[in-house]
Amino acid sequence: MKKIIISKLFLYKYRFIIGYVLLGLAFVGLLFALPIISQYGLSDAEIQSADSSYHLSVDAPLNGDLVDLPYRLVQKLSIVLFGLTPYTIKLPSILVGLLLGFLLILLLNRWFKNNVSLLASCLVVLSTPFLFLAGSGTPLIMIVFWPTLLLWLGSKIQGEKRPKPTYSFLFAIALLLSIFTPYMLYFAVFCVFFVFMQPHLRFVLKSLPKLPLAIVSIVILAGIVALGINIINHPDTIMELLFASGFTIGDFFSNIVKGLAPVFSWRSTGESVFLSPLMSLPVFAIALIGLFSTTRGFFASRNSIASLLLVFTLVITGFNPSVVIFFILPLSILVAHGLKYILEKWYGLFPENPYARVAALFPLCLLFATILLPSIAQYVYGYRYNPSIADEFSYNLTVIRENLSDETLCVQENFRFYKILERSTELKVVENCEVANVPKLAIMGEIEAPEDYQLSRIITSPMRENSDIIYLYTEKGE
């Protein structure tokens, strides 16, 4: 009987390729189904983002309107091409989420072995906070996207004896574009500080060829000059890039407490759009193991970056509680460190015993099933049925598109937002019901109907409170 050699079996030989393909298919399918299977309502931030993006003028860069400009341009294009729907509002985040997920996978694969990077990628890109970030139609996802892109490009430069000028040029362009995203100026300073404080990176910087260094320096200098000119002409820009609106120094520590509440709490209070707990207990435990394991070789760039990024997360959370979501990036690195430590300890117990490796598959699969499936279920059902969170989302747009056709819609709040509907529907949207001789009238909000109209129907939504959204009226005698 011929002896079976495990290393020559198809499934064993291509196990990592098969794993990454399955992860990619699950990730892509889940992302594009997010607006359908989870919260199909819109938060206040999403409504404001869509309104701002759609009304973005052609001369926005000249008028100093540069904050989150790349994201807003994509969101405006999505709304113009496909109409105003919850899906088109969220589509830019879905596309950026795809890129972000693959960048995280590439980054972890760059720093860790295939087995560790594959498992860590599954835990991160299929987690509740990542799915929320990719399904929210706001530029918040860019706060995680730019640093991830910069770290991956930096790893391509650092890991080569003669780095290609292309990666240096892309790094400079990414750094230039990132500084027009809120709080990324802090990250640019953090990058410079980290490079000069880390001995290995200082050596890499000194050994870089002159051409990549010159390219990076010129592009970054040009970006700083452009930003400086913009700030001189439009001083409000710097406040938007550095702080949240209405921020005061006294809010710093209270913002940190508010931002960290969904991370350590087990009950959503409704003060945040994030589900509690933001990450599951098993993932938190693996990340803690990873944090402790990095203390042994802390001064290695890969080990210290995660700890310093946690500190950076706390700092920017003090300016805006919602950017606590940035912790996804250091979390993914710490989870990878934790899995690396666990697997090394397990295989270290049985260095020459193949049965130990096989025996580890069952508990490992069970562990991942108990982490991933509840995490996805928490995201899908939590945003629909958790009363503290569901009430933070408005279903008005969905209800309007499903129930109205050619009526005149009277609105009191977010008039500019609902006015966009006129572009892709037969609705006429007016403010405060200033109409005359209209056969069918739809009123949303606390607006009194004209005397010559009678109520014909009330349209409700699945909201727990204030579920009566639209009142339909017809002319008396009709």
Note whether residue 199 is domain-resident: yes
Same domain, 336 and 199: yes
Contacting residues for 360 by C-beta, under 8 A, at least 6 apart: 346
Note whether residue 416 is domain-resident: yes
Mean pLDDT, the chain, rounded, equals 80
Are 409 and 428 in contact, with CB atoms under 8 Å apart?
Answer: yes
Q: Which pLDDT value is given to residue 122?
A: 83
Same domain, 279 and 401: no
Same domain, 54 and 187: yes
Note whether residue 131 is domain-resident: yes
Question: How do residues 271-320 score in pLDDT, each as one tens digit?
Answer: 677 887 888 888 888 888 888 887 776 556 666 788 888 888 988 888 88
Q: What mean pLDDT comes out for the span 186-214?
A: 74
Same domain, 180 and 155: yes
pLDDT above 70 coverage of the chain, percent: 85
- Output 201 or 305, whichever has higher pLDDT: 305
pLDDT confidence tier of residue 465, bands split at 50, 70 and 90: low
State pTM to two decimals: 0.87
How many structural domains are present in the chain? 2
- Output 183 or 208, whichever has higher pLDDT: 183
CA triple 400-57-98, angle to 5 deg: 65
Same domain, 257 and 130: yes
Q: What mean pLDDT comes out for the span 227-235?
A: 78
Question: How do residues 32-89 score in pLDDT, each as one tens digit?
Answer: 777 777 656 888 889 999 999 998 887 777 776 788 888 999 999 999 999 898 889 9
Q: Which pLDDT value is given to residue 1?
A: 43
Q: What mean pLDDT comes out for the span 404-429?
A: 87
Note whether residue 6 is domain-resident: no
SS3 call for 474: strand
Same domain, 406 and 456: yes
Q: Which two tokens stand for residue 452?
A: 């010559």
Domain end (from 390, 406, 438): 390
For residue 319, the enclosing domain spans 18-390
Same domain, 359 and 416: no
Same domain, 403 and 372: no
Question: How do residues 16-33 score in pLDDT, each as one tens digit?
Answer: 677 777 777 878 777 777
pLDDT confidence tier of residue 7, bands split at 50, 70 and 90: low
Q: Which pLDDT value is given to residue 74?
A: 92
Domain end (from 344, 364, 390): 390
Note whether residue 11 is domain-resident: no
Q: Which pLDDT value is given to residue 466?
A: 65
Same domain, 323 and 374: yes
Q: What mean pLDDT comes out for the span 254-277?
A: 78
Q: Which pLDDT value is given to residue 478?
A: 57
Same domain, 376 and 409: no
Sheet (strand 440-444) strand order: 428-431, 408-411, 440-444, 468-475, 453-460
- Output 477 or 217, whichever has higher pLDDT: 217
Same domain, 403 and 382: no
- Of the candidates 476, 429, 431, the one whose C-alpha atom is nearest the C-alpha of residue 455 is 476
Note whether residue 9 is domain-resident: no
Domain end (from 390, 411, 427): 390
Note whether residue 284 is domain-resident: yes
Note whether residue 10 is domain-resident: no
Instruction: Judge whether residue 182 has pLDDT over 60.
Output: yes
Instruction: Judge whether residue 393 has pLDDT over 60.
Output: yes
Same domain, 463 and 357: no
Q: Which pLDDT value is given to residue 77?
A: 93
Give CA–CA dist 268/25, Å, rounded: 31
